[in-house]
């Protein structure tokens, strides 16, 4: 998926309550950080709760942190 398709998919998604736990940021280099957490999309009418493990790599570019990679894996 590219940036535009992700943004469009998010626009079509209905809002839902989410929370994160076990947030952790681990420096990989002076300008690179690995972020991990567990996310819960809480149950709502017609939808079940979904738990996922998330990881992303952030790079410092021109003084701003930018996400270079992200993965979410659903867990039971």
pLDDT tens for each residue of 27-46:
999 999 999 999 999 998 88
Q: What is the mean pLDDT of each run of 10 residues along the chain (76 residues)?
A: 88 90 98 98 91 98 97 94
| Residues with Cβ within 8 Å of residue 60, at least 6 apart in sequence | 30, 31, 32, 66
Residues paired with 56 in a beta bridge: 35, 70
pTM: 0.79
Tally of domains in the chain: 1
Q: Where would I find the beta strands (DSSP E) of the chain?
A: 18-29, 32-41, 50-61, 64-75
Check which CATH number belongs to the domain holding 70 and give it.
3.10.450.50
Is residue 3 assigned to a domain?
A: no
Find the domain containing 64 and state its range: 17-75
């Amino acid at each position: 998926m590219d940036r535009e398709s992700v943004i469009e998919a998010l626009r079509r998604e209905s809002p839902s309550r989410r929370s994160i736990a076990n947030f952790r940021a681990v420096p990989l280099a002076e300008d690179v950080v690995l972020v991990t957490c567990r996310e819960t999309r809480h149950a709502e009418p017609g939808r079940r709760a979904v738990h996922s493990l998330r990881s992303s790599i952030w790079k410092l570019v021109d003084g701003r942190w930018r996400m270079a990679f992200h993965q979410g894996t659903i867990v039971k």
